[in-house]
Structure 1
Amino acid sequence: MDCRFTSTNLSIPHKLSTSKSHKLPTSLLGCCKAQSKQESSSTATSTQPQPQSTTTPYKIRFQTLQACTLGISRYPDFEYNAEGGIGTATGEKLATTGEELLVNFDIESLYIPALTGATTRFLGSPLPPFLKIEIAPEDFRGCINSESGMVELEFKAKFRFSIGSLYKAPPLVVKTTLTSEESKGLIRSGKGKRMDGEGRCRLVGVATVDPVNDLLLDSFLGLPTECIADLNAQISVNS
């Protein structure tokens, strides 16, 4: 991708077994437990009663800010300025808890800035010209607890690497839970921060990235491996 990587004398990262997958701690699943049950009810019959939501819709606004990082495998993290990223969602408050909102973002209007020389630095230097990593969201939903500030959002996106018109790699599919708590993998981990009074928070998520059947990208990144996102964000909720 860039000669700067080679100058660091980094060896090919350790590959992960495709039979292994990391799992979020049980404490992280409590907030979105009800939402997960709702998603699975379309394909399987549940013996437990489903949570009831109120009819009053809420409007949620999600913004990504500066001072974010993205990392893959054992390489140093990218310094990522995600300012300008924005998304809107509708939410329903669970009647059983009173403070948990189930939210579902509009993918068509969800925007996350691409990684370019203008937004991203690696080892202190901007990404080289023509190198671009576009982020195409496919799913973004989860729950927000307005009382505790806890956030858990399931995120799925395709990351598209390109070097001008010379090279376009198959997309990397990333699926993770962005959480205000702690996310742990086999080689990557991070800890988020709950929403404050202004809705500011840090959301982290570790994901396993599978091979894409591209010799160059698979070898360079050592796929399968893990990636991590550490996003500085702000969330506003209005009834």
Structure 2
Amino acid sequence: MVCKANSSSNPQFFSKCSNKPPKLLSSSCPKSQSIQMQRLNSMSFRCCYNQNQQQQPITTKTQHPKPELYTVNFKTMKDCNLGISIYPNFVYNAGGGRGTGRGTLLESQFNELFVSFDLQTLYIPPLNSNTTKFLALPLPPFFKIDIVPQLFQGTIEKQTGKVSLEFKAKFCFSVGSVYRAPPLLVETILTSEESSGKMRSGKGERLDEEGKCRLVGVATVDPIDDVFMNSFLRLPTECLAVLNATIQFSAST
């Protein structure tokens, strides 16, 4: 039996049937019916598989490299200088000063480290008759200036040796148990480059192969609640710190 479909005679035939699934052949054609069933099953499987693929989000894990950490050791040495106001510099032996910090390698062409020192390990010797001379003479007995660090952090370029460390400390003046002044707060950048103010200036030296350097910093010192110290030091004024030091770092495990 032959069936013919004339589209011109029945133009709505396809539009009416386009949304309907194709009819299977009659049972008189089992082979054709089986082939069509296989095709429909295959199409249904592919459709469901594609939908599942679209519904499942694609997740990727981005692995960031761990920052490279260093242990940084800081030591102060002799032949340092401290100056304030219009007075000549104190010749200061800071040997024995020390501190330990943590360094994190930054993304820089100079292998730059950001270093933060632990204040509990940071010790800077006081200025007294054993460590300090003024006009070639030791400081008078019982005269003492304690240095209490509040902040010590910054950057070190491993490739160039350039150092820039933010330093904040309290300088506490005392004469035995007779007199104790309110602390002077000193904030400066200790640098291996040049530091200058209106009254004072200094030039540092970069780290060498042995880790030796000279750090300088000029700071402004504000008045305190003490008439004698404000008058004697002519506050507000500038102070200069010149520290010979060694800075060495090693990769942390």
Could you tell me the TM-score, scaled by structure 2's length?
Answer: 0.73
Shift of 1:226: 0.1
Residue 212 (structure 2) aligns with: 200
| Counterpart amino acid of residue 210 in structure 2 | E
Structure 1 residues 160-203: Cα deviation after superposition (integer angstroms, max 9, x where no partner): 00000100000000000000000010101000000110010000
Establish whether residue 169 from structure 1 lines up as the match of residue 153 from structure 2.
Answer: no
Residue 91 (structure 1) aligns with: 103
- Check conservation: 1:54, 1:94, Cα contact below 8 A: no
From 65, 73, 82, the equivalent of 2:94 is 82
CA RMSD of aligned residues (A): 1.3
Equivalent residues, number: 188
Name the one with the larger strand percent: 1
From 122, 125, 135, the equivalent of 2:134 is 122
Establish whether residue 182 from structure 1 lines up as the match of residue 194 from structure 2.
Answer: yes
Establish whether residue 135 from structure 1 lines up as the match of residue 150 from structure 2.
Answer: no
Higher alpha-carbon Rg: 2
Establish whether residue 71 from structure 1 lines up as the match of residue 62 from structure 2.
Answer: no
Establish whether residue 233 from structure 1 lines up as the match of residue 245 from structure 2.
Answer: yes
Identity percentage over the alignment? Answer: 57
| Counterpart amino acid of residue 75 in structure 2 | Q
Structure ranking higher on relative contact order (CA contacts 8 Å, 6+ apart): 1
Residue 45 (structure 1) aligns with: none
- Check conservation: 1:53, 1:92, Cα contact below 8 A: no
Could you tell me the TM-score, scaled by structure 1's length?
Answer: 0.77
Establish whether residue 212 from structure 1 lines up as the match of residue 235 from structure 2.
Answer: no
Residue 69 (structure 2) aligns with: 57
After the TM superposition, list the runs of 4 or more consecutive aligned residues in structure 1 that deviate by more than 4 angstroms. none
| Counterpart amino acid of residue 190 in structure 2 | L
- Check conservation: 2:102, 2:117, Cα contact below 8 A: yes
Shift of 1:55: 1.4
